[in-house]
Structure 1
Amino acid sequence: MKILDQYILSRFLYNFFSSFVILIVIFIFQGIWLFIDDLAGKGLGFVIIAKFIFYFIPTLVDKVLPLTVLLSSILTFGTFAENYEFAAMKASGISLQRGMRSLVIFVLFLGVVTFFFANNVIPKSEQKIFNLRRNIAKVKPAAAITEGVFSDFEGTGEGMNIKVDRKYGDQDRFLENVVIHKKTNQNVNNTVIKAKGGELISSEDSDIIQLVLKDGNYYEELVKDDNKEKRKQPFAKAHFETYTINIDISELNDQDLEEDGNITTDKMKNVGRLIKDIDSLGTNNLEKVEAFSKNIVNRMGAFPVNPPVVDSLEIASQIQDKAISKDSIKTVDDLLDALQEWQRLQVVNNAKNSVNSIMNTVVSKKEELQQRYKFYNAHILSLHKKFALAFSCIILFFVGAPLGAIIRKGGLGLPMVIAIVLFLTYYFIGVFAGNYAKEGNIHPAIGAWLSTLIMLPLGISLTKRATADRGLFGFGHIIDRIKSIFKRKSNVVEEE
């Protein structure tokens, strides 16, 4: 039996590693297209690009590994069934479960390794990619500017925010429709520069980058010490044909591309860090909601403060009855009727303005709280995904192995098609569920586990059918059930 286990395991491992290498190469090329704008034409060395790809590979494991397990299990058991090796096993009294024993042990071990990988390697890899892209942007100025949005451009001199409509030319050094917000030492944007075009000029031997702007306007808000002058909101405006900004990058040239920054996203955190942050984020969100609710209640004045507790309930009821009897105003109309017309208009306008102010505050706070809870849900989702990824490898094996035994087809034709269809179903269910979970439409734990849980009954069903040596689709028992129903009805009619 050890010889049989070694044979089955060796065939599976051959298909597993072959499929993994092929799929990882395909996903690498697909992923490079996502970052082609960050890498191409920026003057980066081969070593930096190789480091980027090296750090990028572990982030593909959550997609490649489940598909690899599914495809390799279908290929292995499909080839066994096609070559009648399973028939020989069954003739020797070896069941499908017994033949899968060595692979089950391997897949369980693979699940443990996958969890370790998802908990330790992938977060570190995500952090390395984030920091490498950020540090490349510091060293290569053109890479720091993104088309259509404001980009922070920090140097050793004064900082600024730059937005351009288009970058073109050699290493993207020519800029079109440039808008610059220059920052003061207090990080305040008092200066705005607009130009129709610009160019980044640098030299390998120089620590100065020149940003040459052409055909634009310079606006600066003037800060006066006199309060009367401040009320006039003075500013300076000037038109220029050419305006040059010198940026000292002497410190940036010594930038370490491997320098680690702060861990900012949920993908960069392991299980321990996620659990800690989930607890603190949940507590902080509740405090924000409670503080905002208390603020709105105080501004509305709709809920009066409870009267102080007295020793005698009888005295309290008498005081309450007396207060009610003295209060002749029961409705809003009674209040308005008791006022003069100008007072009535003033009260209504004040109430309208207060309501509009409160509604604007609620709407703006709602967006902030939605972002907070989206960030909170993303942490819960990432926590459960680490466990779900490990279990998905195990469950997809029990989907692929019996499916290969049922279809009885080896090679890269039909097994590849079936594996891709099943994986796309699994993957897209996970993507949609994850997006719904981040928005708070479903619980994040359900979003992380949904695709895996859907594959679980499929794996159980296929394993039972393969063990019983039944086909992929069996409608015989359904047809027999329908026939028995009609036969029963015909017997009833004949008896009548």
Structure 2
Amino acid sequence: MKILDKYLLKTFLITFTTVFVILFFIFILQTVWLFISELAGKDLDLILVIKFLLFSMPRIIPLVLPLSVLLASIMTFGNLAENYEFAAMKSSGISLQRAMRILIIFICVLSLVAFWFANSVIPYAEYKFINFRKNIAQAKPAMAIAEGQFSDVGFYNIKVNKKSGENGNILTGVTIHEKPNNYGENKTVIKAKDGKLISSEKSSILKLELNNGYYYQDVTPKKYEDRSKLPFVKSAFKKHVINIDLSELNKVDTDQESVASTNGMLNVSELRYTLDSLNKNIDNEILSFSENINQRVGITRTMRAVKPEQKKKPLPNNLLSLFKKNKEKLELIKTASSNITSTIYSIDTTQKDLKEKQRDINKHYLALYEKFVIAFACFLMFFIGAPLGAIIRKGGLGLPIVFAVLIFITFHFINTFGKRLSQEGGMTPFMGAWMSSFILSPLAILLTYRATNDNGLINFDAITTPIYNLFQKISKRFLPSQNPQ
């Protein structure tokens, strides 16, 4: 390795390490701020808090790493250009590509490490993080109910607008969904103005005292045509007590692991296997439902296979003509209407279920592609930051930070927008995951080209010269020339 390569690599590594540590510390503080309500005032020992933070750290890497590469590249090459070190290199016959060669090798290695980290470390940390939060909530029932979101506590989903009191046991704006024992739809809803959470370490009963509320329960009519009216039973109460048995929840070991599989906890091979199973399941469900609907409306495979010339008797145009009594006709109409309503209800319900399953499949695809996007993002940010620093010729923490933040916010916004849109089926998960990379890649190519040819960030002459020539032509045409007498 030549002296120049050692110098460039050392300069870049020092800047990259410094920026990475600072940004990582900032994002850790943001994580602590997001989960401060789950940690503060809950009688958790220091070891549990440290474990909580350690398990949450790896999920920050996909944000910190590309931004660190971008900022370090701009600062490093900006300093070299500002101190005329690039001018000395070019006078010695060393081009920008030659100066970037050793750093390109380092970025390639860093991209491979980022992919390995996203494929191995982050899924394991996500697995541990989610289970650790669940185990803490079970060991500390006071933490089981969070503000502003539904929390699963026993056979109830509980949401509160605000928690107060010394241990967060005073609840305001309580909404409770009671889960049925047969895993059906939630038909019971309890809303209360305020309430109180009473728990004791010596008791396995979590007691909820609700004040000034209403009790709602959906009613399912026997007739399908009445279901569209959505009937329900409503009753008011001044005080209502709910006892939740936590005897099973309190038997918790914080080192015990029991997780449901989610897309964030899987590596590439596991995601591909899961996606294959999910796609087969949804295809089989669609086929089974279509056959069921065909049988319900009386269209069987045998009837579909019968050719027109094989039918002995043509069906009448009006089925009501087969019945003579008006009562029989009315019963036929009621039966047909009931069947149509039931079929439409079944189709709508199945459509919603299939849409939710497709959304879950899209999330798994996004989790798969994101592991590769993280690796490519390091490569992309380097080829944006390095030539940009050489063009603006400014180092330090001033102008480089402005450019880095603007570029990274654009990258992150497009990435988030693409993922949200692809989850809802607005585009393919591949395009949603790679949209930000596809949009910013031309910028990286343009900046590298302009930096290689010693062009500025914007060629103002290309803009001002045509405008100046246009005004010259207008002035010559409409303004008479003044000759000296």
- Does the TM-score normalized on the shorter chain lie above 0.5? yes
Matched, 1:171 2:167: yes
In the alignment, is residue 276 of structure 1 matched against residue 273 of structure 2? yes
Quote the residue 2:200 is aligned against: 202
Q: Distance in 2 between matches of 1:485 and 1:175?
A: 72
- Per-residue displacement from partner, 1:46-78 (whole Å, max 9, x unpaired)? 221121111111101111111111110000001
Rounded Cα–Cα distance in structure 2 between residues aligned with 1:456 and 1:190: 51
Aligned to 2:297: 300
Residue 365 (structure 2) pairs with residue 359 (structure 1): no
Deviation at 1:35, TM superposition (A): 1.5
CA distance in 2, matches of 1:481, 1:193: 71
| 2:261 aligned residue | 264
Give the gaps of 5 or more residues in structure 1.
220-236, 310-315, 488-496
Structure 2: how far apart are the matches of 1:213 and 1:328? 65
Match of 2:436 in 1: 451
Partner of 1:386: 371
Name which of structure 1's ranges 408-417 and 347-356 shifts more when overlaid on structure 2.
347-356
Is 1:327 matched up with 2:311?
Answer: no
Whether the aligned pair in 1 keeps the contact of 2:197 and 2:209 (CA below 8 Å) is yes
1:434 positional shift: 0.4
Q: Give, in whole Å, the separation in 2 of the partners of 1:183 and 1:372.
A: 21
Match of 1:291 among 270, 288, 291: 288
Match of 2:411 in 1: 426
Query: Does the 8 A contact of 1:138 with 1:252 survive in 2?
Result: yes
User: Identity of aligned pairs, percent?
Assistant: 44
Deviations 1:10-53 (A, max 9, x none): 11111111111111111112222222222222121222112111
Contact 2:141 2:206 in 1 (8 A): no
- Write the distance in 1 (CA, Å) between the matches of 2:285 and 2:244: 44
Q: Could you tell me whether the CA contact under 8 Å between 2:204 and 2:250 is conserved in 1?
A: no
> Residue deviations 1:247-273, cap 9 Å, x none?
565x76662213222242101111111
d(CA) in 2 for partners of 1:248 and 1:90?
Answer: 73
Higher mean displacement: 468-477 or 274-283: 468-477
Letter in 1 for 2:28: I
For residue 445 of structure 1, report the CA deviation from its aligned partner.
Answer: 1.0
Q: Scaled by the length of structure 1, what TM-score is found? A: 0.80
Question: Which residue of structure 2 lines up, in the alignment, with residue 222 of structure 1?
Answer: none
Distance 1:53 1:163 in 2: 25
The question of 1:407 aligning with 2:392 is answered: yes
Counterpart residue number, 1:494 = none
SS in 2 for 1:170: coil
CA apart distance, 1:296: 1.2
Which moved further from structure 2: 29-38 or 254-263? 254-263
**Structure 2 CA distance, aligned partners of 1:292 and 1:351?**
20
CA distance in 2, matches of 1:411, 1:122: 32
**1:166 Cα offset (Å):** 4.5
Amino acid at match of 1:266: N
State the alpha-carbon separation in 2 of the partners of residues 161 and 318 from structure 1: 60
- Given the alignment, which residue of 407, 427, 432 partners 1:442? 427
Note the 1:212-223 alignment, pairs <5 A. Answer: 213=209
| Alignment: residue pair count | 451
Query: 1:466-477 to 2 correspondence within 5 Å?
Result: 466-474=451-459, 476=461
Q: Which moved more, 1:279-288 or 1:208-217?
A: 208-217
Query: Aligned pair in 2 of structure 1 residues 328, 267: CA closer, same or farther (>3 Å)?
Result: closer
Do the aligned partners of 1:399 and 1:463 also contact (CA within 8 Å) in 2?
Answer: yes
Pair member with larger Rg: 1
Q: Residue in 1 aligned with 2:41?
A: 41
**Cα separation, partners in 2 of 1:406 and 1:185, compared to 1, 3 Å:** closer
In structure 1, what is the Cα distance between the partners aligned to 2:238 and 2:308?
80
Distance 1:83 1:187, change over 3 A: closer
1:112 and 2:96 matched: no
Root mean square deviation of aligned Cα: 3.7
**Aligned partner of 2:49: which letter?**
I
Who is 1:225 aligned against?
none
Asked if 2 retains the 8 angstrom alpha-carbon contact of 1:42 and 1:140, the reply is yes
Question: Do the aligned partners of residues 147 and 425 (structure 1) sit closer, same or farther apart at CA in structure 2, a change above 3 Å counting?
Answer: closer
Compare 117-126 and 160-169 and name the one that shifted more: 160-169
Cα contact 1:263–1:269 (8 A) shared by 2: no
Q: Are 1:131 and 1:258, in contact at CA under 8 Å, matched by a contact in 2?
A: no
- Amino acid of the structure 2 residue aligned with 1:34: L
Q: Tell me whether 107-116 or 388-397 shows the greater mean CA deviation.
A: 388-397
C-alpha separation in 2, matches of 1:335 and 1:182: 47
Partners of 1:22 and 1:411 lie apart in 2 by 15
What is the one-letter code of the residue matched to 1:168? S
SS of the aligned residue for 1:172 comes to: coil
2-side partners of 1:447 and 1:408: how far apart? Answer: 35
Uncovered stretches (5+) of structure 2, i.e. residues with no partner: 216-234, 473-485
Report the alpha carbon displacement of residue 486 of structure 1 after superposing the two structures with TM: 12
Q: Which residue of 2 aligns with 1:347?
A: 332
Matched AA of 1:26: I
Change (3 A) 1:335 1:178: closer
Check if 1:370 corresponds to 2:355.
Answer: yes
Contact 1:24 1:60 in 2 (8 A): yes
Q: Does the C-alpha gap of structure 1 residues 327 and 106 become closer, same or farther in structure 2, counting only changes over 3 Å?
A: same
With over 3 angstroms needed to count, the CA separation of the structure-2 counterparts of 1:328 and 1:383, relative to structure 1, is: closer
1:157-192 deviation digits (Å, cap 9, x = unpaired): xx6665656532111133457788899998999999
1:306-335 CA distance string (max 9 Å, x none): 4778xxxxxx88645xx3xx4372x3xx43
Aligned CA distance change for structure 1 residues 479 and 133 (closer, same or farther; 3 Å): same
In 2: Cα distance, 1:46 partner to 1:401 partner: 42
Aligned equivalent of 2:73: 73
- Gap change, CA 1:9 and 1:169, over 3 Å in 2: same
5 Å-filtered alignment, 1:90-101, equals: 90-101=90-101
Aligned residue for 1:100, secondary structure, equals helix
Q: Paired residue for 2:131?
A: 131
Deviations 1:434-491 (A, max 9, x none): 011111111111111111122211111111110000011125457778999999xxxx
Q: Which amino acid aligns with 2:280?
A: T
When normalised by structure 2's length, the TM-score is 0.82
